[in-house]
């Protein structure tokens, strides 16, 4: 059976950062440009949201053993937010750390590893003009116990992340540079090393046969959000192409399948559902970009014949 794409919610400007809560069987995500955190419960189709002033909101991750508390990124700050999942306003916002102070940069995609450590990066864009990206202005960080560690500078647009704990690998997208990179990952020390490219979206790669370059006609766009399935295959959103692609990492990587959507403005991705065999895919509605039929929607994909792994939560 071929994968089935279903529209479940609509009306978003830039929905991003989906996180499936396996315990509560609900999806959390953000709308960066509407400054909202969102909750969707598939069993009841209930959608609730809260607005966080006029900030760029880029992640929402539940905090372990703290009911109704979340790590949320606001502009350049990582915050602890108290929200009951129902109210239109949050109960409290506590700023924990700020990165790249004195700039107009903003935090973008981020995830926690299985120790509760947050990995998150920035992009060199003004908070008021996210499309005006400047290459080499951002960074990629880990944050734990209010301690910030820089792991990579010269970042264009820090984006999708995935962890393979069996192989001790971290996968990382820089959208502006057009690369999906692999690092050796030491979970105990919280360090990464030995960078290598898995994918490149453009350029002649005849000099390195170990790197997969996607066909620009079939996959025109930039690498955005990313997740990993239980077999260690990566699922990568290609913003601008209307497609997500399943890739088996290797030297070179191989394409296993792709799934097409009714809009090219797809942004990020997460496994969900009772068996973690569904994909939730967020999208945007930029007026300056081709929209397709259903921009700014949340989609669910079924019939994939694979499963994800539970999303990790934050530890504070």
SS3 of the chain: CCCEEEEEECCCCEEEEEEEECCCCEEEEEECCCCEEEEEECCCCEEEEEECCCCCEEEEEEECCCCCEEEEEECCEEEEEECCCCCCCCCEEEEEEECCCCCCCEEEEEEECCCCCEEEEEECCECCECCCCCCCCEEEEEEECCEEEEEEEEECEEEEEEEECCCCEEEEEECCCCEEEEEEEECCCCEEEEEEEEEECCCCCCCCCCCEECCCCCCCCEEEEEEEECCCCEEEEEECCCEEEEEECCCCCEEEEEEECCCCCEEEEEEECCCCCEEEEEEECCCCCCCCCCCCCEEEEECCCCCECCCCCECC
What pLDDT, in 10s, does the model give residues 24-45? 999 999 999 999 999 999 999 9
- CATH number for the domain running over 4-302: 2.120.10.30
Answer yes or no: is pLDDT of 255 > 60. yes
Instruction: Please give the annotated binding residues for a divalent metal cation, written as ranges.
Output: 16, 159, 224
In the predicted model, what is the mean pLDDT of the chain?
93
Q: Output the pLDDT for position 209.
A: 62
Answer yes or no: is pLDDT of 180 > 90. yes
By mean pLDDT, which of 136-150, 231-245, 288-302 is the weakest?
288-302
* More confident: 293 or 139: 139
Exactly one of 113, 224, 229, 277 is catalytic; which is it?
224
Instruction: Please give the annotated binding residues, written as ranges.
Output: 16, 108, 159, 224
Q: For the chain, which residues make up each domain, given as ranges?
A: 4-302
Q: Output the pLDDT for position 218.
A: 81
Q: Mean per-residue pLDDT for 49-65?
A: 95
At 124, the pLDDT band (50, 70, 90 cuts) reads confident
Answer yes or no: is pLDDT of 191 > 60. yes
Q: Output the pLDDT for position 106.
A: 93
Answer yes or no: is pLDDT of 128 > 60. no
Q: Mean per-residue pLDDT for 113-124?
A: 96
Catalytic site includes residue 184: no
């Amino acid at each position: 059976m071929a994968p089935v794409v279903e529209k479940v919610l609509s009306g978003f400007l830039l929905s991003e950062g989906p996180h499936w809560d396996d315990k509560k069987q609900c999806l959390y995500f953000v709308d960066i440009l509407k400054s909202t955190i969102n909750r969707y419960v598939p069993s009841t189709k209930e959608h609730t949201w809260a607005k966080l002033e006029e900030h760029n909101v880029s992640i929402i991750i539940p905090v372990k053993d703290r009911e109704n508390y979340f790590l949320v990124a606001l502009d350049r700050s990582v915050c602890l937010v108290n929200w009951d999942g129902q109210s239109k306003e949050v109960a409290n916002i506590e700023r924990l750390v700020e990165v790249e102070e004195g700039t107009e940069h903003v935090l973008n995609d981020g995830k926690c590893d299985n120790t509760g450590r947050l990995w998150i990066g920035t992009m060199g864009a003004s908070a008021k003009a996210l499309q005006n990206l400047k290459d080499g202005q951002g960074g990629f960080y880990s944050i734990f116990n209010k301690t910030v560690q820089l792991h990579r500078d010269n970042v264009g647009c820090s984006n999708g992340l995935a962890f393979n704990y069996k192989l001790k690998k971290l996968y990382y997208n820089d959208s502006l540079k057009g690369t999906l990179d692999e690092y050796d990952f030491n979970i105990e020390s919280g360090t990464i090393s030995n960078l290598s490219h898995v994918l490149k979206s453009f350029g002649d790669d005849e000099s390195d046969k170990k790197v997969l370059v996607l066909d620009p006609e079939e996959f025109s766009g930039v690498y955005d959000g990313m997740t990993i399935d239980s077999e260690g295959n990566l699922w990568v959103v290609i913003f601008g192409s209307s497609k997500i692609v399943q890739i088996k990492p290797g030297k070179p990587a191989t394409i296993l399948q792709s799934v097409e959507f009714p809009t090219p403005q797809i942004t990020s991705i997460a496994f969900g559902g009772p068996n973690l065999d569904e994909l939730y895919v967020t999208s945007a509605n930029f007026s300056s970009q081709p929209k397709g039929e259903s921009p700014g929607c949340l989609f669910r994909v079924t019939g994939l014949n694979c499963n994800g792994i539970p999303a990790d939560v934050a530890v504070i």
